[in-house]
Structures are given as structure tokens and as C-alpha cells.
Structure 1
């Protein structure tokens, strides 16, 4: 895996070459078969993925309903952000809906690399923070849809 491989990924587009070369040290290509649970809600989170092919359903356990799919991600999507924010436990679960090809990152190593290169760490944190906001808004909309509640303005304001 090289920084040039990572530069082609939409989520990492525009990052400095030196940061991408560092990130490449924590990355590897992986394949995940359809139906495999990739991560479970509340378990330790130490990985994230850039999906190149396939789909992953992200779910959330709802009392009385069991797991509810809140969003499905495909090629070009980032899967996983809990590795970056303490307590480093999955906030959701994820299951491969189809066979998945992805770039998998070791989150612990990425956190260490970000400490060594604060500008790279800041850039990744900034990108993931935007991703978290988008995902939480989408999750809120999905849960309101499931409960039959109309979405109000500013429902997720901080």
C-alpha cells in the first residue's frame, strides 16, 4: 500500500503526500464476505475502512425491535469513526450486505501517526468530525422515520 493508492480515495483526496505516505503504513487491502458482521455495537473499535466495492449495512440495536439498519454504505464510503473518539467503542454495528473489497486501517496506529504528525492528525480529525455530523443527522432522520415522528428543524444542533 502506498500514499499514491490512498490519494485516489475520495475521503483522502487533497491530503498532503507526506501524510498519505504515513497513513499507508497503517493500511492494507481486505476482502469481507457477504453476511459477515464486521463490528458490533459497544465492542472495542480499532479499525476503519474505505469501501472500494460492495455494501455494508450499519445497524443500531433498538429495544423491542432488535437491530435496525440506519444506513447502507457502498463504494467511496468511509466505514467507522469510533476508533478515533474515546472510549473507542463502536456506536453502531456493521454487516457486509454483499462481498466487500476495502482498504482497512489500524486505528491505533493511525492515532499514533497523528500524534507524531499533528498536521496529519488534525486533517484526519477534521474530516472524520464532518463525517460524524453527517452520519448522526442521517441516523436521527432514519430513527424518526421508523418511529413515525416528523423531523423538526435543528433537531441535532449542538
Structure 2
């Protein structure tokens, strides 16, 4: 898998088909908050169209965009790890259409099909590692700008 790998295309066709039986199509209007950091992470999405900003609250009034997501991207990984609370916030930058997955249903499917579970966890881990690298770079950029002031 490369850094640009999308979760659904990373799964072999049979496993992707099994996972997609749990998908529900949803949409979010522009500027809606999809979830806030610290909230209950009980689902995730694969974006079909539109753009989502991952945000981190700096203080009561200010949020910083740490990453942008688009078509094919995974939105939400906190459902996979205790304490199942969102690490970032997410806001629709434009109208978003997505596949929504209930975390409990996906975890049950992964227990029934350990091969699918391992492939899914590996895919999420690679996406997470790439996003961590991007986020670190973005935060370093923001910090260096503030130091220059």
C-alpha cells in the first residue's frame, strides 16, 4: 500500500464486497460539523465526493485545519481504538457524500472473518501513519510561523 491508498481499494474484491454490505449512504451539507474531538467514535465514513477538514481546537475560539480529505479517503479511525473518542474534529468543507459504517457491525464482521479484519486494520494503520506524518508537518509549519512573529 502507498500513502495515497484508499481503504476500500486496498481490500481484495471479496472482502470489499462483504464490508460494503454494511455501508449506508449519507450526505453532509457544507460547513456542518460531522464530529468534535472527544466525542463518541462509534462509526466511520469513506468519502464518495466532497471535502472534509480535520480540525484541532487550539483554544475556545480557534480551530486549526490539520488535514483535508476527499473522495475515497477514510474519515475516522478512533472507532477502532479504546477509548473510542475522536482525536480530531471533522467539518464538511463542501457538500459531502459518503458511505457510513457502524463500528460495532464492522468489528463483528472482522471477528467472523479474521482475514478481512487483519486487512482492514493494516489499511487503517497505514492511513493513520501517513496522516500522522502530514499532521506533524502541518503543526511544525504553524509553529514556525508563530515563532517568526
Q: State the TM bucket, normalised to the shorter chain.
A: 0.7 to 0.9
User: Within 5 A, what are the aligned runs for 1:1-158?
Assistant: 10-13=6-9, 15-63=11-59, 66-148=62-144
How far did residue 20 of structure 1 move? 2.4
Residue 65 and residue 139 in structure 1: after superposition, are their counterparts in 2 closer, same or farther (change >3 A)? farther
Closer, same or farther: CA 58–14 of 1 in aligned 2, 3 Å = closer
Of 100-109 and 123-132, deviating more is 100-109
How well do the aligned residues superpose, as a CA RMSD in angstroms? 1.8
* 1:64-116, Cα deviation, whole Å (9 max, x unpaired): 76211001111121111111111111000000010001111111111111011
Q: Secondary structure at the match of 1:44?
A: coil
Q: Structure 2: where are the runs of 5+ without partners? A: none
Question: Between Structure 1 and Structure 2, which shows a larger proportion of helix residues?
Answer: 2
The TM-score with structure 2 as length reference comes to 0.87
- Displacement after TM superposition at 1:11 (Å): 2.4
Q: Is the 8 A contact 2:23 2:100 kept in 1?
A: yes
Equivalenced residues, count? 141
Dislocated runs of 4+, deviation >4 Å: none
Residue 10 of structure 1 and its aligned partner are, at CA, apart by 4.2
Q: Distance in 2 between matches of 1:137 and 1:48?
A: 21
In structure 1, list runs of 5 or more residues that go unmatched: 1-8, 150-158
Shift of 1:25: 2.8
Distance 1:67 1:14, change over 3 A: closer
2: CA distance, partners of 1:82 / 1:14: 19
| Equivalent residues of 2:7, 2:124 under 8 A apart | no
Structure showing greater relative contact order (alpha-carbon pairs closer than 8 Å, 6 or more residues apart): 2
CA contact (8 A) 2:47 2:74 kept: yes
